[in-house]
Structures are given as C-alpha cells and as structure tokens.
Amino acid sequence: MKEVDERTSFLLGNKIGDYLWLSDNPESRYQGWFVTPPNQNGGEIYKVIEDIRPVGRNRIETVENYFSKVRRKGDGFEETFIVSENEHKMRYQLKEDSEVELILDMRHSYSNAYPEYIIEWIDDKLLIKTGGEDDFFLAIKGFESVDLIRERFVRHYSIDKKRNSPPFEKAVFKALSMRGKDFFFSASENREEALNQLDTKTEANLPEEEKEPVDFVAAKKGLSDLSVNGRGIYAGYPWFFQFWKRDEAISLRGLRIIDPEKAEKLFWSLLEEDKSCPAGKAFDGVGWTFKRAFLFLNDFNQEEEKALADFLRKEVDFEKSDELTVNGNKETWMDSIPREGARIEIQALKLNMYKLGRLIDPEKQDKYQSMESELKKKVRSIFWDGNILADGYFPKKGVVDKTVRPNIFLAYYIYPDLLSEKEWVTCFRRALYELWLDWGGLASISKESPRFNSRHTGENPQSYHQGDSWFFVNNLAAISMNRLDDGKFSYEIKKILEASRENLMWKGAVGHHSEISSAEILKSEGAVSQAWSFATYLEALYEIFKINNFSWS
C-alpha cells in the first residue's frame, strides 16, 4: 500500500474485451462499464453503465487492486467490483445493505447518442433495454427492492476537457436506486443471453500467493486482458480497442512471456493478415513482425522455417535490394506528424529482414548476405556522421534530417549490427543529452527543438510525437542500453524502469501502464492501459532483472 498525492482510478479488464474504469466521480465519457459483443473483432465496444455507488457515499480513501477484483473504502462504506473473465458480467458488492443508485449511458463507445430506455421486471430480475434499431440489454439481479427514478442530468467530464476531447459534457440517465449488498449485472445484444448469464457464477479468479514481483504480475495481467479471445491484442483502453499489426508485433515478446503458444499463433496470423492502423498503412508493421520471428526460430520445424522464408521472399524486392525504404506521411509509429522520407528505424527493420533471410533461406543465403552488407554500408554513409545517427533522409532532395529523436534506440534494438559498440555508445550519449527527462524518460523530440512541447496537449496532437514521452520506447531504450553497456548506462536504465514502475503501480488507473507521459513531469496520459507499454516492461524485467532466472538467447 502507498499513499499518493493525486486521485487515482482503477480499471478491471477481462479476456473478452470488456473493461470497467471508474474514478471517485466519472471524469471521462470513456469511464464506466464497457463490453465487446462476441461478433466484434476490434471494431466496436459498447458502454453500459456510467456509474454505480451507494447513495450519499463519502470520498474514497483507499483503492485495493487484487487484479481480478478491486475494493474501495471510505468513511462508512466498502465496495468491491468484479468483472467476469469469460462472460459479459459484473458483480458489485457492499459490506452492508445500502441504497445504491445506478446511472446509465448505453451507447457505442464513440457515439454521443441519448438513447431511450425501456425497463421491465422478469421474475427476480430487472431488464433494461435501449430503444431504437440498435438494441442492447442490461439485466440485473440481487436487489431487495427497486425505486425507478428515470432522470436525465448533465455530467461534466474534466479529463475530456483537459485532453481537448469534446464534448466535455453529456446527458446521462439516473435510472433507479435499489437496496441490497450483492448485485449482479449482465449485458448483451441478445435479450435471452443477458438474462441467462445472470444464472452463472461471477467470482473473482484470485491467484495463489505470487512469487513474482507485484509490478510484474500487474503487467502480465494488463497485457493478458488486452489479448482478446485469441483474436489478437487490443492496442489499449479506453479508446484503442482495435488490432493493429505494429502494436501487436511489438507486444509479441511480452505475450510470449505470458503464453508462448498464443504468441506463436499470433505471429503466424500477423504474417497472413493485413491489420491497418488509425492513420492508414502501418509501414513498419511487416518489419516488426519479421523482427519477432527470431523469438520462435529455435521452435520451428523444417516445414515452418520454409513457410517463414516464403513469407519473407514475398516482402523483399531482390532487384532493388540496396535502395532505402521510403515511407509517406504518417506511416511510421510517429503517425501524428508527417515524418515522410527514409527513416532510421525503418532501415533497421529492412536490414533485420535481410539478416533473417540469410539465416533461414539456404537457397538465397548469399543473396541476402550481399543485400544486407550493401544496405548497411549505404545507411551508415548517409545516416551516421560519427556523432549523430540521423532520424531521416529525403532522397529526392539529398537532405539528411538530424532531428534528435529516440528512434535511434529502436534502431539499435532492431539491428544492433549497424554501428560498432563504441559508435553506439557515442550515439546514445549524444541523444541522451537532448532527450533525457529527469524523472526517467525520453522526450519524443529534442528538448532544444522549437517543436518541443513540455506538456501533453491531448487530442490536439501537437505534443504527441513532439515532446510526450512514450513508455514503450523508454522500456526498449532501457533494454538497448543494458545490452550495449549496463555499466555506462546504469543510471538511465534504473531511472527508466523506476519511472515505468511508478506509472504502472500508482499513476492513473492503479496497476495499469499508460501510453505516454508529459515531458515535464511523470504522469499517466494518453490511453490509461496500453499493450506495448505492458509488453515492453515485461521484456525489460525479464531481461534486465532475470525474473525467474529467465534469459533470452
């Protein structure tokens, strides 16, 4: 237990795409209980409950996160929340019989609709249906008595206002109050399913006493909950409930720590499927997928290795092997800024693909080796000046972009053979001089740049890749520095992992690793629960601290 200066929220997820995110009072229209219908594949999610609380409840003083359930306490009350692992159900328990008010906002997550509600009793259950063509059902049981209120009121959302994410207010529906101390909720697009689900148990799946560090357990649970039904990995909650190739590929190493079989299955699906990212083409998604092939090489049989080689051949242009790969606007992971041209991490991914080819494709081994050597020489001659590894190059203009960004750490992580160890130390030290944040992170652009923003600007993307610190990059940078020279970079490695742990355990939603932080101070900003933040933190703990004596070959 730890006392914190700021108000914290909690988020409970499950493996079928549902989440419950609550604060003292709702601060965002994305807070509440949300469910993913079974027929959705990373495209839609429904909000069901805005808030539930004892009438006249005092301020929350304590939040206890047990990963599969959360308990909150205050003066005169104690409440427990449980989200079912395998069904669209939630359980709400109180220590003593109380009058509880239920506030609804049943709609698609991105919608701002104001649905009508139809309420009916069915035996010992209450069924609430949204009117209109897009029916959705909420079933409730466990109450001793119910008083219908049916009152709309306007909720003001402070987080949305801070994020510049309109609308900042919305009319929600205080449906009823009910007396009891153990309430069960079930949601579905199907009337009978909503009712029938209430007849199965909703218990917290509490783990046995953990032998692993609590932050490691939290990261495992967070990534596991975002791994939805074996279909893929959601990018993050509350608004990134999509499957994106780049995000999934980067998260694969973390997923392999949790579930090797699921990770390998996802790897093959990434080779076969085209999953778009929000800005359009995930230019680096294919490259990251082949980077993750190295995780499984020792497990592949001859037939699987040949299949991998065939996939790789389809992506490689053997006639233009020494050409730099040039991306268009918003096609790299920094997709809120143009960043067109030949970018350093994209070249590293291409070099890694050539390296993979020479290891797994005997028929073209010599060709791959020649291609790798030629491209490596070209990239070095253009991007490396002996001090700075450039972020990009514009071939048509012949101009090198020496903007200092943390992508050089990604380049090392992907393809460390690009520079010598001595050169990489020089490169890292030079970049850290302009990127290092005292709290233990890396800015997404040099602090000396006129484009640098010290504070997160929310849905206005001005700071997103021009100042904000990304935890997945920080974690991979710590891994890279540890691999290169854990002595020379011991301070930075330690500070990065301390900051990631602080964010995971105590900032934002307790037990969840957020997407980003402002540069000026460590905060939970962006998505409160982000897959590649969890995954890369798991990587770092496994590799740097050898959790369970685990090591990677």
Domain boundary among 137, 170, 197: 197
Angle at 247 between CA 343 and CA 283, to 5 degrees: 35
Exposure string of 487-509, with b = 16+ CB inside 10 Å and e = fewer, is: eebeebbebbbebbbbbbbbbbb
Q: Find the domain containing 184 and state its range.
A: 9-197
Q: Are residues 472 and 528 in the same domain?
A: yes
- What three-state secondary structure class fits 269? helix
Considering the domain boundaries, does residue 509 fall inside one?
Answer: yes
* 75 vs 132, residue with greater confidence: 75
List pLDDT tens digits, range 367-417: 999 999 999 999 999 999 999 999 999 999 999 999 999 999 999 999 999
pLDDT score, position 279: 44
Same structural domain for residues 115 and 231?
A: no
537 lies in the same domain as 393: yes
Does residue 206 fall inside a structural domain? no
Task: Give the contacts of 247 (CB within 8 A, at least 6 positions apart).
Answer: 233, 235, 277, 531, 532
Is 334 found in the same domain as 429?
yes
Number of domains in the chain: 2
DSSP string spanning 315-352?
H--GGGTTSPPEE-TT-SS-TTS---EEEHHHHHHHHH
Backbone angles phi, psi at 339, to 5 degrees: 45, 45
For the entire predicted model, the pTM comes to 0.94
Burial classification of residue 390, based on how many CB atoms lie within 10 Å of its CB (0-12 exposed, 13-18 middle, 19 or more buried): buried
Q: Is residue 120 part of a domain?
A: yes
Is the domain of 250 the same as that of 342? Answer: yes
Is 204 inside a domain boundary?
no
Report if residue 205 sits inside a domain.
Answer: no
Q: Give the pLDDT of residue 56.
A: 86
To which residue do tokens 């242009």 refer? 317
Residue 1 belongs to some domain of the structure: no
The predicted pLDDT at position 204 comes to 65
- 182 and 218 share a domain? no
Do residues 296 and 421 both lie within one domain? yes
Q: Check pLDDT > 80 for residue 552.
A: no
pLDDT at site 3: 58
pLDDT band at 113 (very low <50, low <70, confident <90, very high): confident
Residue 199 or residue 133, greater confidence = 199
Lowest mean pLDDT among 1-15, 107-121, 246-260, 328-342: 1-15
Q: What is the mean pLDDT of residues 206-228?
A: 83
Domain co-membership, 235 together with 90: no
pLDDT band for position 278 (cuts 50, 70, 90):
very low
Q: Are residues 181 and 257 in the same domain?
A: no
What pLDDT, on a 0 to 100 scale, did the predictor assign at position 326?
A: 95
Q: Last residue of some domain: 197, 226, 246?
A: 197
Q: Is the pLDDT of residue 506 over 80?
A: yes
For residue 207, being part of any structural domain is answered with no
pLDDT at residue 101, rounded to an integer: 97
Does residue 322 surpass a pLDDT of 90?
Answer: no
Q: Is residue 167's pLDDT more than 90?
A: yes
**Inside any domain, residue 332:** yes
Q: Which of 156, 172, 197 is the last residue of a domain?
A: 197
Looking at the structure, tell me whether residues 240 and 161 fall in a common domain: no
Q: Are 446 and 527 contained in the same domain?
A: yes
Mean pLDDT of 494-503: 97
Domain at 262, CATH number: 1.50.10.10
State whether 308 and 344 are in the same domain: yes
Mean pLDDT over 163-167 rounds to 91
